[in-house]
Protein backbone atom coordinates (compact mmCIF):
# COMPACT_ATOMS: atom_id res chain seq x y z
CA UNK A 1 0.00 0.00 0.00
CA UNK A 2 2.53 2.52 1.19
CA UNK A 3 5.06 1.62 -1.47
CA UNK A 4 2.40 2.03 -4.10
CA UNK A 5 1.58 5.39 -2.67
CA UNK A 6 5.23 6.46 -2.83
CA UNK A 7 5.57 5.29 -6.41
CA UNK A 8 2.49 7.25 -7.30
CA UNK A 9 3.91 10.32 -5.61
CA UNK A 10 7.26 9.87 -7.36
CA UNK A 11 5.63 9.69 -10.78
CA UNK A 12 3.50 12.70 -9.97
CA UNK A 13 6.58 14.60 -8.86
CA UNK A 14 8.40 13.70 -12.04
CA UNK A 15 5.51 15.03 -14.10
CA UNK A 16 5.43 18.23 -12.06
CA UNK A 17 9.11 18.84 -12.73
CA UNK A 18 8.65 18.09 -16.42
CA UNK A 19 5.72 20.45 -16.75
CA UNK A 20 7.48 23.18 -14.76
CA UNK A 21 10.50 22.83 -17.02
CA UNK A 22 8.36 23.11 -20.11
CA UNK A 23 6.48 26.13 -18.82
CA UNK A 24 9.71 27.92 -17.94
CA UNK A 25 11.25 26.80 -21.20
CA UNK A 26 8.42 28.44 -23.11
CA UNK A 27 8.06 31.54 -21.01
CA UNK A 28 11.68 32.60 -20.85
CA UNK A 29 11.71 32.53 -24.60
CA UNK A 30 8.99 35.16 -24.58
CA UNK A 31 10.84 37.46 -22.23
CA UNK A 32 14.02 38.52 -23.91
CA UNK A 33 16.36 37.33 -26.56
CA UNK A 34 19.80 35.99 -25.58
CA UNK A 35 21.06 36.63 -29.10
CA UNK A 36 20.27 40.33 -28.71
CA UNK A 37 22.14 40.40 -25.41
CA UNK A 38 25.12 38.56 -26.82
CA UNK A 39 25.40 40.96 -29.75
CA UNK A 40 24.28 44.05 -27.88
CA UNK A 41 26.34 43.44 -24.82
CA UNK A 42 25.34 45.00 -21.54
CA UNK A 43 23.37 48.15 -21.09
CA UNK A 44 26.63 50.04 -21.26
CA UNK A 45 27.55 48.91 -24.70
CA UNK A 46 24.49 48.46 -26.78
CA UNK A 47 25.62 48.44 -30.36
CA UNK A 48 22.85 46.90 -32.29
CA UNK A 49 22.95 45.18 -35.57
CA UNK A 50 19.75 43.25 -36.36
CA UNK A 51 21.44 41.10 -39.03
CA UNK A 52 24.09 39.97 -36.58
CA UNK A 53 21.41 39.16 -33.98
CA UNK A 54 19.71 36.95 -36.54
CA UNK A 55 22.97 35.14 -37.22
CA UNK A 56 23.65 34.48 -33.54
CA UNK A 57 20.10 33.24 -33.11
CA UNK A 58 20.78 30.74 -35.88
CA UNK A 59 24.06 29.69 -34.33
CA UNK A 60 22.38 29.03 -30.99
CA UNK A 61 19.57 27.12 -32.70
CA UNK A 62 16.98 29.58 -31.41
CA UNK A 63 15.40 29.93 -34.84
CA UNK A 64 14.06 26.36 -34.71
CA UNK A 65 10.51 25.51 -33.60
CA UNK A 66 10.05 25.62 -29.84
CA UNK A 67 9.01 22.00 -29.49
CA UNK A 68 12.13 20.80 -31.30
CA UNK A 69 14.31 22.91 -29.02
CA UNK A 70 12.56 21.40 -26.01
CA UNK A 71 13.06 17.81 -27.11
CA UNK A 72 16.63 18.64 -27.95
CA UNK A 73 17.08 19.81 -24.39
CA UNK A 74 15.42 16.70 -22.94
CA UNK A 75 17.52 14.51 -25.24
CA UNK A 76 20.63 16.21 -23.90
CA UNK A 77 19.55 15.47 -20.33
CA UNK A 78 18.91 11.80 -21.05
CA UNK A 79 22.32 11.37 -22.63
CA UNK A 80 23.87 13.08 -19.62
CA UNK A 81 24.87 16.35 -21.25
CA UNK A 82 23.65 19.39 -19.37
CA UNK A 83 24.90 21.61 -22.16
CA UNK A 84 26.99 24.76 -22.10
CA UNK A 85 26.13 28.24 -20.99
CA UNK A 86 25.26 30.50 -23.94
CA UNK A 87 27.16 33.34 -22.38
CA UNK A 88 30.37 31.88 -21.01
CA UNK A 89 30.55 28.78 -23.16
CA UNK A 90 31.52 26.82 -20.03
CA UNK A 91 29.86 23.44 -19.38
CA UNK A 92 27.01 23.85 -16.88
CA UNK A 93 28.03 20.57 -15.22
CA UNK A 94 31.37 22.12 -14.20
CA UNK A 95 29.64 25.01 -12.48
CA UNK A 96 27.19 22.72 -10.72
CA UNK A 97 29.99 20.53 -9.38
CA UNK A 98 31.39 23.52 -7.51
CA UNK A 99 28.19 25.32 -6.60
CA UNK A 100 25.64 22.64 -5.79
CA UNK A 101 27.43 21.33 -2.66
CA UNK A 102 27.67 24.89 -1.32
CA UNK A 103 23.95 25.50 -1.66
CA UNK A 104 23.07 22.10 -0.20
CA UNK A 105 25.35 22.73 2.75
CA UNK A 106 23.92 26.16 3.49
CA UNK A 107 20.35 24.96 3.09
CA UNK A 108 20.89 21.96 5.33
CA UNK A 109 22.79 23.78 8.06
CA UNK A 110 20.39 26.74 8.05
CA UNK A 111 17.42 24.43 8.45
CA UNK A 112 19.30 22.72 11.26
CA UNK A 113 19.94 26.10 12.88
CA UNK A 114 16.27 26.95 12.55
CA UNK A 115 15.44 23.83 14.54
CA UNK A 116 18.06 24.70 17.12
CA UNK A 117 16.37 28.05 17.63
CA UNK A 118 12.79 26.92 17.27
CA UNK A 119 12.54 23.61 19.07
CA UNK A 120 13.39 24.72 22.62
CA UNK A 121 11.52 27.98 22.21
CA UNK A 122 8.41 26.36 20.73
CA UNK A 123 8.36 23.59 23.29
CA UNK A 124 9.05 25.93 26.17
CA UNK A 125 6.27 28.30 25.24
CA UNK A 126 3.76 25.49 24.83
CA UNK A 127 4.61 23.81 28.13
CA UNK A 128 4.93 26.93 30.22
CA UNK A 129 2.02 28.95 29.05
CA UNK A 130 1.82 32.31 30.63
CA UNK A 131 2.38 35.94 29.97
CA UNK A 132 6.14 35.95 30.21
CA UNK A 133 6.99 32.98 28.00
CA UNK A 134 4.21 33.91 25.61
CA UNK A 135 5.80 37.36 25.38
CA UNK A 136 9.22 35.95 24.59
CA UNK A 137 7.99 33.72 21.79
CA UNK A 138 5.83 36.43 20.41
CA UNK A 139 8.68 38.92 20.30
CA UNK A 140 10.93 36.33 18.73
CA UNK A 141 8.29 35.44 16.20
CA UNK A 142 7.61 39.01 15.18
CA UNK A 143 11.25 39.95 14.87
CA UNK A 144 12.25 36.84 12.98
CA UNK A 145 9.35 36.95 10.59
CA UNK A 146 9.48 40.69 9.97
CA UNK A 147 13.19 40.92 9.31
CA UNK A 148 14.32 40.10 5.79
CA UNK A 149 17.36 37.84 5.63
CA UNK A 150 19.42 40.23 3.52
CA UNK A 151 18.89 43.11 5.91
CA UNK A 152 19.68 41.03 8.96
CA UNK A 153 22.73 39.65 7.16
CA UNK A 154 24.03 43.15 6.45
CA UNK A 155 23.32 44.26 9.98
CA UNK A 156 25.17 41.30 11.46
CA UNK A 157 28.10 41.84 9.11
CA UNK A 158 28.34 45.54 9.94
CA UNK A 159 27.97 44.90 13.66
CA UNK A 160 30.66 42.23 13.66
CA UNK A 161 32.93 44.42 11.57
CA UNK A 162 32.50 47.55 13.67
CA UNK A 163 32.60 45.83 17.05
CA UNK A 164 35.26 43.19 16.49
CA UNK A 165 36.95 44.60 13.39
CA UNK A 166 36.45 41.18 11.87
CA UNK A 167 34.79 39.97 8.73
CA UNK A 168 34.72 36.42 7.40
CA UNK A 169 37.39 35.84 4.73
CA UNK A 170 36.05 36.43 1.20
CA UNK A 171 34.59 33.55 -0.72
CA UNK A 172 34.30 30.02 0.51
CA UNK A 173 37.20 27.66 1.10
CA UNK A 174 36.24 23.96 0.83
CA UNK A 175 36.12 22.29 4.28
CA UNK A 176 38.62 19.69 3.10
CA UNK A 177 41.14 22.43 2.45
CA UNK A 178 40.78 24.43 5.62
CA UNK A 179 37.97 23.55 7.99
CA UNK A 180 38.55 26.51 10.31
CA UNK A 181 38.32 29.12 7.54
CA UNK A 182 35.33 27.30 6.12
CA UNK A 183 33.52 27.50 9.46
CA UNK A 184 34.28 31.21 9.76
CA UNK A 185 32.80 31.78 6.33
CA UNK A 186 29.72 29.69 6.88
CA UNK A 187 28.71 30.48 10.44
CA UNK A 188 27.15 33.94 9.98
CA UNK A 189 24.99 33.06 6.97
CA UNK A 190 23.56 29.93 8.55
CA UNK A 191 22.83 31.66 11.83
CA UNK A 192 21.11 34.53 10.01
CA UNK A 193 19.08 32.31 7.73
CA UNK A 194 18.37 29.88 10.57
CA UNK A 195 17.02 32.73 12.65
CA UNK A 196 14.71 33.93 9.90
CA UNK A 197 13.54 30.41 9.12
CA UNK A 198 12.88 29.75 12.79
CA UNK A 199 10.04 32.28 12.87
CA UNK A 200 7.37 30.11 11.34
CA UNK A 201 8.77 27.00 12.91
CA UNK A 202 8.48 28.27 16.49
CA UNK A 203 4.82 29.01 16.07
CA UNK A 204 4.16 25.72 14.37
CA UNK A 205 5.95 23.68 17.03
CA UNK A 206 4.14 25.53 19.76
CA UNK A 207 0.73 24.92 18.23
CA UNK A 208 1.50 21.30 17.43
CA UNK A 209 2.65 20.62 20.98
CA UNK A 210 -0.39 22.38 22.42
CA UNK A 211 -2.67 20.31 20.26
CA UNK A 212 -1.04 17.06 21.27
CA UNK A 213 -1.13 18.03 24.94
CA UNK A 214 -4.91 18.03 24.75
CA UNK A 215 -5.08 14.53 23.34
CA UNK A 216 -6.56 11.91 25.66
CA UNK A 217 -3.45 9.71 25.47
CA UNK A 218 -1.42 12.43 27.15
CA UNK A 219 -3.84 12.47 30.01
CA UNK A 220 -3.63 8.68 30.15
CA UNK A 221 0.16 8.85 30.24
CA UNK A 222 0.04 11.33 33.07
CA UNK A 223 -2.59 9.32 34.88
CA UNK A 224 -0.30 6.28 34.66
CA UNK A 225 2.08 8.33 36.78
CA UNK A 226 4.77 8.79 34.16
CA UNK A 227 7.30 11.51 34.85
CA UNK A 228 6.43 14.74 33.04
CA UNK A 229 9.70 14.57 31.07
CA UNK A 230 8.82 11.10 29.79
CA UNK A 231 5.36 12.27 28.83
CA UNK A 232 6.76 15.19 26.89
CA UNK A 233 9.70 13.46 25.24
CA UNK A 234 8.14 10.13 24.40
CA UNK A 235 4.51 10.96 23.79
CA UNK A 236 4.07 14.64 23.08
CA UNK A 237 7.14 15.46 21.05
CA UNK A 238 6.97 12.41 18.88
CA UNK A 239 3.42 13.15 17.90
CA UNK A 240 4.09 16.83 17.42
CA UNK A 241 7.06 16.06 15.18
CA UNK A 242 5.16 14.50 12.32
CA UNK A 243 3.16 17.59 11.33
CA UNK A 244 6.15 19.87 12.00
CA UNK A 245 8.36 17.93 9.67
CA UNK A 246 5.64 17.95 7.06
CA UNK A 247 5.46 21.71 7.50
CA UNK A 248 9.22 22.06 7.04
CA UNK A 249 9.04 19.97 3.91
CA UNK A 250 6.47 22.27 2.43
CA UNK A 251 8.69 25.22 3.13
CA UNK A 252 11.54 24.05 0.91
CA UNK A 253 10.80 26.78 -1.59
CA UNK A 254 11.06 29.38 1.14
CA UNK A 255 14.31 27.83 2.34
CA UNK A 256 15.83 27.86 -1.15
CA UNK A 257 14.79 31.48 -1.61
CA UNK A 258 16.51 32.35 1.65
CA UNK A 259 19.65 30.53 0.57
CA UNK A 260 19.84 32.59 -2.61
CA UNK A 261 19.59 35.76 -0.53
CA UNK A 262 22.28 34.91 1.99
CA UNK A 263 24.52 33.69 -0.79
CA UNK A 264 24.36 37.17 -2.28
CA UNK A 265 24.79 39.04 0.98
CA UNK A 266 27.66 36.89 2.20
CA UNK A 267 29.14 36.41 -1.23
CA UNK A 268 29.05 32.63 -1.20
CA UNK A 269 29.58 30.85 -4.51
CA UNK A 270 26.42 28.76 -4.48
CA UNK A 271 23.77 28.24 -7.11
CA UNK A 272 21.84 31.37 -6.15
CA UNK A 273 23.96 33.99 -7.85
CA UNK A 274 24.69 31.72 -10.76
CA UNK A 275 20.99 31.33 -11.46
CA UNK A 276 20.14 34.97 -10.86
CA UNK A 277 22.89 36.02 -13.27
CA UNK A 278 21.59 33.50 -15.78
CA UNK A 279 18.13 35.03 -15.66
CA UNK A 280 19.37 38.55 -16.29
CA UNK A 281 21.65 37.36 -19.08
CA UNK A 282 18.90 35.25 -20.66
CA UNK A 283 21.19 32.24 -20.46
CA UNK A 284 18.45 29.73 -21.35
CA UNK A 285 20.31 26.45 -20.81
CA UNK A 286 21.32 27.51 -17.30
CA UNK A 287 17.82 28.72 -16.39
CA UNK A 288 16.33 25.43 -17.55
CA UNK A 289 18.75 23.42 -15.48
CA UNK A 290 18.04 25.71 -12.54
CA UNK A 291 14.32 25.04 -12.72
CA UNK A 292 14.98 21.36 -13.10
CA UNK A 293 17.22 21.27 -10.04
CA UNK A 294 15.06 23.45 -7.81
CA UNK A 295 11.90 21.65 -8.92
CA UNK A 296 13.46 18.26 -8.30
CA UNK A 297 14.75 19.38 -4.92
CA UNK A 298 11.25 20.45 -4.00
CA UNK A 299 9.69 17.19 -5.10
CA UNK A 300 12.35 14.95 -3.59
CA UNK A 301 12.33 16.70 -0.25
CA UNK A 302 8.57 16.48 -0.04
CA UNK A 303 8.77 12.80 -0.82
CA UNK A 304 11.38 12.32 1.89
CA UNK A 305 9.21 14.27 4.27
CA UNK A 306 6.35 11.91 3.56
CA UNK A 307 8.53 8.91 4.32
CA UNK A 308 9.90 10.39 7.53
CA UNK A 309 6.51 11.47 8.85
CA UNK A 310 5.01 8.12 8.07
CA UNK A 311 7.67 6.48 10.19
CA UNK A 312 7.00 8.89 13.00
CA UNK A 313 3.27 8.37 12.72
CA UNK A 314 2.26 4.89 11.61
CA UNK A 315 -1.33 6.04 11.08
CA UNK A 316 -0.21 7.93 8.00
CA UNK A 317 1.31 4.76 6.59
CA UNK A 318 -1.89 2.85 7.16
CA UNK A 319 -3.96 5.48 5.44
CA UNK A 320 -1.51 5.40 2.51
- Kindly state whether residue 209 participates in binding other proteins, applying the rule CB under 8 A: no
Indicate the length of the chain as a whole number.
320
- Shortest Cβ 265–other proteins spacing (Å): 6
* Residue with Cβ nearer other proteins (87 or 316): 87
- Shortest Cβ 264–other proteins spacing (Å): 5
| Residues in region 280-299 near other proteins by CB under 8 A | 280-282
What x-and-dash track marks residues 44-63 binding other proteins by CB under 8 A?
Answer: xxxxxxxxxx--x--x----
Neighbours of 20 (CB within 10 A): 17
- Kindly state whether residue 264 participates in binding other proteins, applying the rule CB under 8 A: yes
Task: Please state, in angstroms and rounded to a whole number, the distance separating the CA atoms of residues 318 and 206.
Answer: 27
- Kindly state whether residue 93 participates in binding other proteins, applying the rule CB under 8 A: no
- Kindly state whether residue 106 participates in binding other proteins, applying the rule CB under 8 A: no
Helices (H), 65-178: 66-78, 92-127, 131-146, 149-164
Residue 174 DSSP class: -
Task: Please state, in angstroms and rounded to a whole number, the distance separating the CA atoms of residues 213 and 201.
Answer: 18
- Kindly state whether residue 88 participates in binding other proteins, applying the rule CB under 8 A: yes
DSSP code per residue over 176-229 = TT-HHHHHHHHHHHHHHHHHHHHHHHHHHHHHHHHHHHTSHHHHHHHHTT--HH
* Residue with Cβ nearer other proteins (198 or 286): 286
- Backbone phi, psi, residue 246, to 5°: -60, -40
Question: Of 82-90, 197-205, 223-231, 250-258, which segment contacts other proteins by CB under 8 A?
Answer: 82-90
| Max intra-chain CA distance, the chain | 85
Question: Of 42-50, 117-125, 188-196, 288-296, which segment contacts other proteins by CB under 8 A?
Answer: 42-50
- Shortest Cβ 50–other proteins spacing (Å): 6
Task: Please state, in angstroms and rounded to a whole number, the distance separating the CA atoms of residues 154 and 147.
Answer: 11
* Residues in contact with 305: Cβ distance below 8 Å, sequence separation at least 6, in sequence order: 245, 246, 248, 249, 250
| Residues in region 5-24 near other proteins by CB under 8 A | none
Binding residue for other proteins, selected from 200, 270, 285, 295, defined by CB under 8 A: 270
Binding residue for other proteins, selected from 135, 148, 169, 253, defined by CB under 8 A: 169
Binding residue for other proteins, selected from 20, 36, 303, 308, defined by CB under 8 A: 36
* Exposed/middle/buried for residue 171 (C-beta within 10 Å: 0-12, 13-18, 19+): exposed
- Shortest Cβ 185–other proteins spacing (Å): 10
Neighbours of 21 (CB within 10 A): 20
Residues in contact with other proteins by CB under 8 A are 31-34, 36-53, 56, 59, 87-90, 95, 98-99, 150, 154, 157-158, 161, 165-167, 169-172, 264-270, 273-274, 277, 279-282
Amino acid sequence: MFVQYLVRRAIGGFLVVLIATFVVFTFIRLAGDPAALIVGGTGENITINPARVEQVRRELGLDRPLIIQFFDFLGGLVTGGLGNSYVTGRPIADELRVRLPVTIEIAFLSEFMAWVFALPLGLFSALRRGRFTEGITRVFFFIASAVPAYWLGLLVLIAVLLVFGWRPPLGLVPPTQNLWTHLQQIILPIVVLGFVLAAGLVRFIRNAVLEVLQEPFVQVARAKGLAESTVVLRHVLRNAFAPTIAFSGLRVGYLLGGVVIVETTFNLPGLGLFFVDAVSRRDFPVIQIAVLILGSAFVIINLLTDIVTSFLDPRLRERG
